[in-house]
A = this chain, B = another copy of it.
Amino acid sequence: MQNSNLPDEEQKFRVRKLEVSDYGKGFIELLQQLSVCDSVSNKEFGDRFGELSSLGDDHVVCVIEDELSGKIIATGSIFIEKKFLRNCGKVGHIEDVVVDSTVRGKQLGKKLIKFLTDHAHSMGCYKVILDCSHENRVFYEKCGFKQKEVQMVMYFV
């Protein structure tokens, strides 16, 4: 009975928006599992938090906090691009999704993605997109995504 304790887990692993106090709950350390992210001071975090907050619902960072440990164990973000195309349509861009390596297999990634795609839908987006590795494609297919184009990149540093 894998899901017999689902209501408790639902409560325990609730998705919510990032708060400024999450800096002290391991948010940056969690991002380090995804990519390079060293030396972010509390002030730098607060400044960027303020910049993103000023965008309101057009840029949302969500997290899951383990209420037992008080640690941030999953995060993902979405921003809403406003276009002229598609009759002045909007597109949600999902970025920086990571689940703590010690708590994988609990469907936390799926919960995050549902939160983010629901947000895009509620904002009136006609689609939501993301880029991922070949290995993670199957996960996103299970979340309802389909493979479409190829991502190209140019690095400056």
Report A's interface with B, CB cutoff 8 A. 27-28, 31, 34-40, 44-45, 47-48, 51-52, 59, 61, 77, 79, 81-88, 93, 95-96, 117, 120-121, 125-134, 137, 140-141, 143-157
Contacts and interface: CB of A to CB of B under 8 A. Distances in A.
A156 B61 contact: no
Contact of A131 (B83, B129, B133): B129
A51 B88 CA distance: 11
Nearest to A48: B88
A99 to B, nearest CB: 15
Contact of A27 (B38, B84, B131): B84
Closest 10 CB pairs of A and B: A145-B152, A131-B149, A149-B151, A148-B153, A140-B152, A48-B88, A127-B155, A145-B154, A129-B153, A126-B157
Given A84-B31, A85-B37, A131 B151 contact: yes
Interface centre among A36, A129, A143, A155 (most CB of B within 10 A): A155
